[in-house]
Amino acid sequence: MRAVGLDIGSLSTKAVVMGGDGILSSAVVLSSDSAESSAKAALQQAMAKASQDGEIYVVSTGAGGKSVSFSRQNKAITTCLARGIHYLLPEARTVIDMGAESITVVRINERGRVSDYGNQDKCAAGTGIFLQQMAKLLRLSMEEMAVVSTKAKARAEITGTCAVFAESEVISHIHRDPPTPVEDIVAGIYISMVHRIMSQLQRVGVKKEVAVTGGVAANRGLVSILEEEIGHTVLIPPTPELAGAIGAALIAKENMIQGAS
Amino acid sequence: MTTTAKTPDRIDAILRACRLMLRMNRARPDARKSEVLYYEMLIDYCTQLATARQQGRFVAAHTVFFPCEVLYAMDIVPMHTETTSWMTALFLGQYADLLAAGAEQGLSSEICSPHRGLAGALSIGALPRPDAVLWSNMVCDNTAKCGELLMKITGSPGFFLDRPFQRSDEEMKYFVEELRDMVAFLEAQSGLKMDWGKLSETVRHMDEQIELFREINRLREAVPSPFHPQGFLELVTVDYLFPGRPKATEYLQTLRDELATAVAEHRGAVPKERYRLMTLFMPPMYLIGFLEKLSREYGAVSATEPFFCNWGEGRLDPAKPLESVAQKSYMLPESHMFGPMSEKAIGEIVESARRYEVDGAIYYADVGCRHTCATIKLFKDALSEIDVPVLTVDCDVVDPTVTSEGEVREKLERFFELLDDRR
């Protein structure tokens, strides 16, 4: 039997298949309207990659985790992030998960268990979807945004409290005479997101080392501004978007062992 | 400006809801006698309000923590504005039109919803028009500022009771004088005279009630918790609405005896107690039934609510009734959360967490309540030093559009998972 972790996010669904020696395979698919079908699609891809078709033990997590009928257990994303990051980066004590629709900060102990957490899910400001919207507005890809931000000489002032206001502020920067340089606008967008993250981080408390997970972690420009604000470098696992699914797979594996003993 | 009632007031509807609750309680074989008494008191309160006008009685609307014992001693009918508005949300599920009416009074959604709701309730006539409006600064600046608007909406005369934050001899003297002025105002407006003997008797009952609250607190230290998961709301309501009333003493004595029996029999209020929680600030009113159900589902009890149950030290003296009313205002559990936050108040929270052996704390951060939100970090840090995790639930105490049942369930389930993980 194989242990499988499924993280059903609002933008993407992640699957991780785990064997005795560690991760066998993983897959990321775009989430559809149905959490069940997204979970099946991700699972099929991951199982095919691992050349597995036997019995599985599934633990699910994420926004759609409860809707997966073939999952044996649903766990909170905070628990899964803690386990996942402890497996990937055992020295990490704080995880910042920058997801599509929320920011979650988890403080973990030396056993990979959650000590405390906080999350912001009331406004799109500071989330991955907000960043996508901004990229669209500036007609840049996410990668281009990251590169452009490194050339900024100043940071345009953009509110961090409301995604709608932030969007109109960006538009006004574009149409200003003379227009605010695009690199300064991008840096302004990043700093507004970082301020949002910092308020969660300060609520929970920063403990070194700090790891960053979630799809947004791949954005180097944003991460470097985050490092500036925190005052030290952060750790990013090789596949930051998979941390939650890896944690779920680890829990599935633990459950299988406990069930067998 | 006098606003005429646009809709019939909702006191009759609340009354019917309370009567239904009473009938349901009486029909339950395991019903607590104290719970029956509690609903009887609510029925008495609503009946008085519903019949006051007909009987030509003087009605005084007052804000939360106002010393309504003075009103009882003068035979004035008190109308606790916040609690009565909450009751429309809790028992009738009606809040949206009250908040919308509050918005028409210029109160934006960033302002505390109980104040928006009560201004709205008075403006559309959901609450009866009072003969006087009484308010104070014993709670927050919002309450201190709300009275003028309530006077304008109702066209009633009003009195602002100014209570100093601190409790020196000088300040106590000042506050007693303020209370004396308020009595004079009420005598002039109502034509009624203060019955000082009745006030002394009320103070004697209040003193006994505070002792009973303390006894109940001691009994609630037991593991498993003998009190039902969200039961503290009953205690809060009893003190808000019935301070010094003989029936409140009877309710507290009955509850004390019921808890003592449960403790002796090692009987918990939920089938299998798994999590002992500390409740900080007020959970959303519209979720009380849901929270009670969730508590039973997960074996989670609110073991202590220091801001609503930890009474300050001291005894009241019936021979000095007005001084005792002043003193009680500084002994109120809620007085710890308002005004400048002291090291002592934070220390008491930490001490409560130890005394009640809590596994975690739930901090209900009402988005419209500035002082509630301003102290999140102070309490979180203090409790984390003794390894008690704190879950912050951003919510609104009345307005369900801020936080849904699903969101709160999700957050609490995650928190329970965290508590399990720490074992």
Domains and CATH numbers, chain A: 1-89+241-261 (3.30.420.40), 91-236 (3.30.420.40)
User: How much is the pLDDT for B2?
Assistant: 39
What is the distance between the alpha carbons of residues B49 and A63, in angstroms, rounded to a whole number?
A: 48
When mean pLDDT is compared over A164-168, A178-182, B317-321, B410-414, the highest value belongs to B317-321
Q: If 0-12 CB within 10 Å is exposed, 13-18 middle and 19+ buried, where does residue A136 land?
A: exposed
Contacting residues for B374 by C-beta, under 8 A, at least 6 apart: none
A116: closest chain B residue by CA: B389
DSSP category for residue A150: T
Residues of chain B whose pLDDT is less than 50? Answer: 1-5
Residue to test with chain A: of B394, B395, B421, most A Cβ within 10 A: B421
8 Å CB contact of A114 and B377: no
* A122–B384 C-beta distance less than 8 A: no
Nearest CA in chain A to B416: A76
Q: Which residues of A touch B389 (CB under 8 A)?
A: 115-116
Q: Are A114 and A85 spatial neighbours (Cβ–Cβ below 8 Å)?
A: no
The reply to whether residue A113 touches residue B392, judged by beta carbons under 8 angstroms, is: no
Q: What pLDDT score was predicted for residue A91?
A: 97
Comparing B274 with A50, which gets the higher pLDDT?
Answer: B274
Whether residues A76 and B377 touch (CB distance < 8 A) is answered with no
What are the residues whose beta carbons fall under 8 Å from the beta carbon of B406, sequence distance 6 or more? none
pLDDT of residue B266: 95
pLDDT at B153: 93
- Residue B288's Cα: distance from chain center in Å? 14
Would you call B384 and A118 a contact, using CB atoms and an 8 Å cutoff?
Answer: no
- Predicted TM-score (pTM) of the model is 0.84
| Mean pLDDT, rounded, for A148-171 | 81
- pLDDT number for residue A196: 85
Instruction: Please state which of the ranges A60-64, A133-137, B35-39 shows the lowest mean pLDDT.
Output: A133-137
Phi-psi region of B314 (alpha: psi -120 to 50; beta: other; left: phi over 0): left
Min CA distance, B421 vs chain A (Å)?
Answer: 6
> What Rg, from alpha-carbon coordinates, does chain B have?
21
Contact B390 A116 (CB under 8 A): yes
- A157: DSSP letter: -
Contact present, B230 and B285 (Cβ < 8 Å): no
What was the pLDDT predicted at B174?
97
Which pLDDT score is estimated for A57? 95
Reference B206, options B360, B305, B311, B351; nearest CA is: B311
Give mean pLDDT, residues A143-148.
88
Sign of CA dihedral A39, A41, A46, A52: positive
Tell me the torsion sign for CA atoms A132, A138, A141, A146: negative
The tokens describing B386, both together, are: 């003794």
Those of residues 189-218 in A touching chain B at CB distance below 8 A are 202-203, 205
Residue among A78, A122, A205 minimizing CB distance to B418:
A78
Number of residues in chain A: 261
Of the residues A75, A94, A111, A116, the best mutation for testing chain B's interface (the one with the most B CB atoms within 10 Å of its CB) is A116
pLDDT at B8: 66
Q: Which residues pair with B394 in a beta bridge?
A: B365
User: For position B4, what pLDDT does the model report?
Assistant: 41
Alpha helices in A176-261 (DSSP H): 182-204, 220-230, 243-260
The percentage of residues in chain A with a pLDDT greater than 90, rounded to a whole number, is 56
Residues with Cβ within 8 Å of residue B288, at least 6 apart in sequence: B90, B230, B233
pLDDT for position A125: 66
Residue ranges of A 52-81 with Cβ closer than 8 A to chain B: 75-79
Number of helices and strands (H, E) in chain A?
8, 9
Cβ count near B165 (within 10 Å): 12
Above 90 in pLDDT, residue A52?
no
- Per-residue pLDDT at B256: 98
Candidate from A113, A121, A203 with C-beta closest to B377? A203
Look at residues A184, A194, A183, A179 and name the one whose alpha carbon lies nearest to residue A228. Answer: A194
pLDDT for the residue B297: 92
pLDDT value of residue B288: 87
